[in-house]
Amino acid sequence: MNAASVRLTRWAVIIAAIAALEIVPRAGLGDAITLIPLSRIVPEFFELLSDGELIPHLLSTGGAFVLSFLLAGVTGVPLGYLLWRYEPLKRTLDPYLTTYYAIPIFAFYPLLLAIFGFNILPVVVISWAWAVVAVVLNTAIGFGEVPRVLIKVGQSMNLSRWQLLSRIFFPAAVPYVFTGLKLGMVYSLIGVIASEFVLSTQGLGYLVSYNYTNFRTAAMYSAMFLILFLAILLNWALNSIERRLYEHG
Amino acid sequence: MRLEVKEVRKTFSGKGQEVEALAGVGLAVAEGEFVSIVGPSGCGKSTLLEIVGGLIEPTGGEVLIGEEPINGPHPAVGLVFQQESAFPWRTVLGNVEFGMEMHGVAKGERRERSRALIELVGLKGFEDRYPGELSGGMRQRVAIARTLVMNPEVLLMDEPFGALDEQTRLILGDELLHIWSETKSTALFITHSIEEATLLSDRVIVMSARPGTIKKVVTVDLERPRDSTVVGTPEFGNITGEVWQVLREESMKTLKGQV
């Protein structure tokens, strides 16, 4: 397939999906309470947006996401460095780290509620915990993968330990660290939305579950669209940063 | 600055096994002399170069740079490696400036010296490119310029053109001869190519199969300045023939050891 027909097919998929959202409910296929046509969702979405009902939830989700992601970056990169630097630490933690993502951390939400109470804190903690390990692992791998020869260049130039770390190890590890941050960002968002279903009285995740249980279907879809929009925006931002980072690849 | 290697031995130990890499190597390179070392693969020639560069400590013996025994990398010694070593995150200019930047040389001087070296290695016009945008041969020139810009009195090169094809290697050999004739540094060059060693050197040292020792020293009495057109002369053939005779025997030993 050539580039033009690939692009055409992509648009066709989107248009087909939108059409399905309209046609399937109208044809009476599926549950009439949770499946409503797009033409009923869109006006409701704009109404909710304009009367400001969505804004506090958007801010709450955005704030929790930014906070948990920043925390994951600020703690994850140094922890990754330590893990690489101290072999015994790595050997001790390795089995925990490699099985980490096999554990559905969300199952422990009652514990977090008991510790932090019913506010934004458990949401941030669970999202941080979900994101930080990806940052730690990728940072540690990045430092470990620095080519020996680059280190030898630095040593032969009589660089200090600090110069060796900041001018050779760190820039050489950046692509891996960035991969970790990228994963961490996505995990943060997933963590925030998923934990808002049960851990919060605010945020887009909460809004989806609240509107669902109260049969406000159009409002539920509005929250979903906002989440989708947020994820797409994030993905676009990450890709453009990455392109800039690797354009000299 | 002269360089001397005195009875250098190196044994690597690990996992309860000991491997003797170098069994007493002695050699001297006079000031401004160009000496090459050839040897069968695994004979410890790279190890020897890293010992001279102060990156590895020998098990026994010592290395003198000038009249002083070294204790770690010597500031007057520059190293060029076989593997890709240009920093991919820096431009050509950024790479060449790196050493001076680390040692606090003022920006104006850094620029000036780097631009001169970039021109010398034939990369003028590529100052703002990144290594990922260059060919393998050009990347190796960046690494060479980055080392030469520090004005090393002793230049150590570990198969700098080893990853390149034969034509590129001979052309870069010509360029290296030209650059070296301008810098007048003392040079120790490691290669597995007999032609390259003969083309470049005043003397070619042949190392034995592991554990490495010096098997033979061949003097290259071809006139300087030279370039790769000498490759076709009978004198050149005589010298490479003499080197090959010894090297063949040692390479056979290595091969037999592997079978």
pLDDT (tens place) for every residue of chain B, 259 residues total: 999 999 999 999 877 888 899 999 999 999 999 999 999 888 889 999 999 999 999 999 999 999 899 999 999 999 999 999 999 999 999 999 999 999 999 999 999 999 999 998 889 999 999 999 999 889 999 999 999 999 999 999 999 988 788 888 888 888 889 888 888 899 999 998 899 999 999 999 999 988 899 999 999 999 988 888 898 999 999 999 999 999 998 888 888 776 5
CA-closest candidate to residue B38, choices B234, B177, B244? B244
**Best of B57, B74, B77, B87 to mutate (most A CBs within 10 Å, chain A):** B87
For residues B140 and B222, state if they share a domain: no
CA distance B1 to B208: 27
By residue range, what is the domain housing residue B129? Answer: 84-151
Q: Tell me: the pLDDT tens digits for A196-225? A: 888 888 899 999 999 889 988 888 888 898
Q: Tell me: the pLDDT tens digits for A4-28? A: 889 999 999 989 988 888 888 888 8
For residues B144 and B194, state if they share a domain: no
Contact B130, B88 (CB under 8 A): yes
DSSP, res B128: T
Last residue of a domain, one of B101, B126, B151: B151
Classify residue B89: in a domain, yes or no.
yes
Which pLDDT value is given to residue B247? 92
For residues B103 and B130, state if they share a domain: yes
Last residue of a domain, one of B151, B169, B201: B151
CA distance B244 to chain A (A): 30
For residues B118 and B182, state if they share a domain: no
Contact A217, A36 (CB under 8 A): yes
CA distance B233 to B203: 18
DSSP, res A145: T
For residues B221 and B188, state if they share a domain: yes
CA distance B254 to A248: 42
Classify residue B144: in a domain, yes or no.
yes
Q: Tell me: the pLDDT tens digits for A42-64? A: 888 888 888 888 889 999 999 99
Among all residues of chain A, which has the CA nearest to that of B78? A156
For residues B37 and B164, state if they share a domain: yes
For residues B164 and B246, state if they share a domain: yes
The SS3 call for residue A10 is helix
ipTM for the whole complex = 0.90
Classify residue B8: in a domain, yes or no.
no
For residues B44 and B102, state if they share a domain: no
For residues B202 and B120, state if they share a domain: no
Per the structure, the count of domains in chain B is 2
Classify residue B30: in a domain, yes or no.
yes
Sheet with strand B3-14: strands edge to edge: B17-29, B3-14, B60-65, B68-69
Classify residue B14: in a domain, yes or no.
no
Cβ distance of B81 and A149 shorter than 8 Å: yes
Q: Tell me: the pLDDT tens digits for A169-192? A: 999 999 999 999 999 999 999 999
The closest CB to that of B87, out of A150, A158, A163, belongs to A150
Classify residue B3: in a domain, yes or no.
no
Residues of chain B with C-beta less than 8 angstroms from the C-beta of A151: none
For residues B176 and B133, state if they share a domain: no
Cβ distance of B77 and A149 shorter than 8 Å: no
A&B contacts, CB < 8 Å? 56
Sort strands B60-65 and B3-14 into parallel, antiparallel or unpaired.
Answer: antiparallel
Contact A180, A69 (CB under 8 A): no
Residue written as tokens 């004739």?
B181
